[in-house]
Amino acid sequence: MHLLIPAAGMGRRMGSNRNKLLLTLLGKPLIFWTLQAACASRHINWIGIICQLEDLPDLKAIAEEMALTKPVRFIQGGKTRQESVYNGLQGLPHNARHVLIHDGARCLATPDLLDRCAEALQKCQGLIAAVPVKDTIKVVDRTGLIKDTPDRTNLWAAQTPQGFDVQLLKQCHETGHKSGWEVTDDAALFEKCRLPVKIVEGEETNLKVTTPVDLAIAEYILRQRQGTGD
């Protein structure tokens, strides 16, 4: 199974002056943990890291130091995540039938989650990891007034990995590009093209490290996993 890791963001909400994936989390760069899970997955046998040119030397050094046992390709990222994934799809080997896409920023996803997604993808065209939402979600208008409270039993929080048939996802990206669709995940492109996307039970700990609070929570979870938490 081929894996693309979007890692070409700026990390603006983290408030740091560099890509958040290069910040230190328990003594290692954040992306180290994402790559470690990818390497421990039984199904992933090729990794494409989508990144900005300025981060390439650091990312290459991290990959070299990890002595990754799987082939790794670095692919030029774009201005948005959507553009980055599009570039990533062009950088896949020609024999790639299915692809998993997993955000570099979701550094707590377990190898088991990657493997469950890879296995489920053998039997469908599109899927995402997701978890039931815990909060009650409100739809609010521009004036700050609540318009609706959707039934929580129908609401799921989308995560990555997200997995797709490569040819179909490429077509969806091209349709999206021509139609000017702006989306924050790949499933949304599939949905807009009226293609089916399945849910795979995600992990509560699979958070996307976005703000400094997330970094602190991620560090806590990693410490617990290492058995050194107190």
Where does this chain bind ligand CTP (CB under 6 A)?
A: 6-13, 20-21, 50, 77-81, 84, 103-105, 208, 210
Question: Within its chain, how far is the Cα of 89 from the centroid?
Answer: 14
For Mg ion, which is the closer residue by CB, 10 or 61? 10
Pairing relationship of beta strands 98-101 and 2-6 according to DSSP bridges: parallel
* Minimum distance from residue 31 beta carbon to ligand CTP (Å): 8
Q: What residue is closest to Mg ion based on CB? A: 9
Number of chain positions touching Mg ion (CB under 5 A): 1
Tokens describing residue 140: 């609010």
* Minimum distance from residue 34 beta carbon to ligand CTP (Å): 8
* Minimum distance from residue 51 beta carbon to ligand CTP (Å): 7
For Mg ion, which is the closer residue by CB, 17 or 95? 17
For Mg ion, which is the closer residue by CB, 9 or 126? 9
For Mg ion, which is the closer residue by CB, 165 or 186? 186
Q: What residue is closest to ligand CTP based on CB? A: 9
C-alpha span between 85 and 186 (Å, rounded): 8
Q: 42 by DSSP, 3-state: which?
A: coil
For ligand CTP, which is the closer residue by CB, 8 or 128? 8
C-alpha span between 44 and 27 (Å, rounded): 25
Enclosing H/E stretch for 3: strand 2-6
**Interaction mask 1-40, Mg ion, x per CB under 5 A:** --------x-------------------------------
C-alpha span between 180 and 182 (Å, rounded): 6
* Minimum distance from residue 153 beta carbon to ligand CTP (Å): 27
- 106 within 8 A of 157, measured Cβ to Cβ: no
Residue 1 interacting entry, from Mg ion, ligand CTP, none, C-beta within 5 to 8 Å by type:
none
Residue 173 interacting entry, from ligand CTP, Mg ion, none, C-beta within 5 to 8 Å by type:
none
Alpha helices by DSSP H, listed for the chain, are 30-40, 56-66, 81-90, 111-121, 166-179, 186-192, 212-225
Angle at 39 between CA 35 and CA 44, to 5 degrees: 110
